[in-house]
């Protein structure tokens, strides 16, 4: 069995700097290498969960061209290695209690995904594990646990439907909720090989602005959801108003920022907000009206993300067409948050039974804005 740690140290460099920490500090690092982005979080354990000490995110488009070739391209791998070197430098400045590094759909699907990660280990020191779609869904649920149980969103529900729209895949998690015990259990998941990069490449980068082609994107995605609905019968639970709907992705956070009318993206305003579906649909129409240049110029989007916004909206609309819940709880969090919470739980003595899940320290949920729009 391979016992190589998630970060063995940047080759040729001292592993730890002169960073001083108090005895009580407990630092954890989580690295998420996705199809579109490379993200690192370093967090300190707190009494209520954790606070972010350092955070890094770069769009690397590792999965660029993967839909057509089945392989990771050399320019994409070089971009990604450059970002991972920056992550290694940041990790090297900290003394960590634990670290976890994972890769998702691009490396799962690419014929050279495992070979690339061997190269990553040799050049950066990161030992990155490819996780399954189920594990990805579980981590997303873990990161959103306190939203699932938060009484701010109304009476308790016994089900939650969570979606995470990524670059190369979309994860759907169907969750059983016990409001009394404040626990949640994954009872079904779907990992669709449809993400913002793959959909954009399949239909063409500019095609999402054509309403006819956009409708095809929605229909294509929706068709892939039918079997999951037939197995789990989510629709009846929705009609009985027993389901909370949680979106954790750049797509849904962008829609929330548009509805809120933010002059620039503010995570504290978006994460934990409640987005009425009618307002979200209206924001999608607004993006169509803005056109490519308007979307690129929008301060909450920018040129790097503009190509992928409407493909993400098509995935969102397909999900909402299938499961038309009135309000979406917006989560600007993901795998890194879930990994940090797991590491903290592993490092901490078992809590008392029925203890509420920890609250993420830096986010003032009680004061988050209701995304009602106009």
User: Which element (helix H / strand E) includes 243?
Assistant: strand 243-247
Q: What whole-number percentage of the chain has pLDDT above 90?
A: 78
pLDDT tens per residue, range 293-306: 999 999 999 888 88
Question: Is 90 exceeded by the pLDDT of residue 205?
Answer: no
pLDDT tens per residue, range 319-337: 999 999 999 999 999 999 9
Average pLDDT for 159-181: 95
Q: 135-334+362-367: same fold as 27-131?
A: yes
pLDDT for residue 368: 33
Q: Please, which residues bridge with residue 171 across strands?
A: 164, 191
Q: Does domain 27-131 have CATH number 3.30.420.40?
A: yes
Q: In this structure, are residues 280 and 270 in contact, taking their beta carbons and an 8 Å threshold?
A: no
Question: Is 90 exceeded by the pLDDT of residue 24?
Answer: no
pLDDT for residue 360: 43
Question: Is 70 exceeded by the pLDDT of residue 365?
Answer: no
Per-chain mean pLDDT for the chain? 88
- For domain 135-334+362-367, the CATH superfamily is Exopolyphosphatase. Domain 2 (3.30.420.150)
Give the list of residues 6+ apart from residue 239 with CB closer than 8 angstroms, or none: none
Place of tokens 């990524």: 166
pLDDT for residue 171: 95
Domain locations in the chain?
27-131, 135-334+362-367
Q: In this structure, are residues 149 and 179 in contact, taking their beta carbons and an 8 Å threshold?
A: yes
pLDDT for residue 283: 96
Q: Which bin fits 361, alpha (ψ -120 to 50), beta or left (φ > 0)?
A: alpha
CA–CA dist 100, 340 (Å, integer): 8
Place of tokens 């960590």: 96
Question: Is 80 exceeded by the pLDDT of residue 14?
Answer: no
Task: Work out the pLDDT band at 207, boundaries 50, 70, 90.
Answer: confident
Give the list of residues 6+ apart from residue 273 with CB closer than 8 angstroms, or none: 256, 260, 329, 330, 368, 369, 370, 371
Q: From 192, 196, 203, 225, select the one nearest 310 (Cα to Cα).
A: 196
Instruction: Please count the residues of the chain.
Output: 374
pLDDT tens per residue, range 90-148: 999 989 999 999 999 999 999 999 999 999 999 999 999 999 999 999 999 999 999 99
């Amino acid at each position: 069995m391979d016992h190589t740690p998630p970060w063995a140290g940047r080759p040729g460099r001292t592993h730890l700097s002169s960073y001083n920490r108090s005895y009580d500090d407990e630092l954890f690092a989580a690295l998420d290498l996705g199809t579109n982005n490379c993200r690192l979080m370093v967090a300190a354990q707190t009494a209520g969960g954790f606070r972010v000490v350092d955070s890094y995110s770069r769009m690397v488009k590792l999965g660029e061209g993967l839909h057509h070739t089945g392989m990771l391209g050399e320019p994409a791998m070089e971009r990604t290695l450059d970002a991972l070197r920056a992550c290694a430098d940041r990790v090297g400045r900290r003394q960590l209690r634990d670290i976890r590094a994972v890769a998702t759909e691009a490396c799962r699907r690419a014929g050279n995904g495992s070979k690339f990660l061997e190269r990553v280990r040799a050049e950066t020191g990161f030992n990155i594990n490819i996780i399954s779609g189920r594990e990805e869904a579980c981590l997303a649920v873990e990161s959103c646990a306190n939203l699932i149980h938060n009484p701010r969103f109304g009476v308790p529900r016994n089900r939650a439907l969570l979606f995470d729209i990524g670059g190369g895949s979309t994860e759907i998690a169907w969750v059983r909720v016990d409001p009394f015990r404040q626990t949640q259990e994954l009872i079904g998941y779907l990992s669709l090989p449809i993400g913002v990069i793959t959909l954009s490449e399949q239909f063409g980068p500019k095609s999402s602005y054509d309403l006819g082609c956009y409708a095809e994107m929605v229909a294509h995605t929706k068709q892939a959801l039918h079997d999951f609905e037939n197995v789990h019968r989510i629709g009846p639970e929705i009609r009985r108003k027993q389901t909370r709907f949680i979106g954790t992705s750049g797509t849904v956070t962008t829609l929330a920022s548009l509805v809120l009318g933010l002059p620039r993206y503010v995570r504290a305003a978006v994460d934990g907000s409640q987005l009425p579906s009618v307002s979200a649909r209206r924001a999608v129409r607004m993006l169509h009206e803005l056109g490519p240049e308007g979307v690129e110029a929008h301060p909450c989007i920018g040129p790097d993300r503009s190509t992928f916004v409407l493909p993400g909206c098509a995935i969102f609309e397909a999900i909402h067409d299938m499961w038309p819940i009135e309000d979406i709880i917006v989560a600007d969090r993901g795998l890194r948050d879930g990994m940090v919470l797991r590491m903290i739980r592993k490092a901490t003595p078992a809590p008392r039974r029925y203890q509420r899940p920890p609250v993420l320290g830096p986010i003032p949920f009680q004061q988050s804005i209701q995304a009602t729009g106009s």
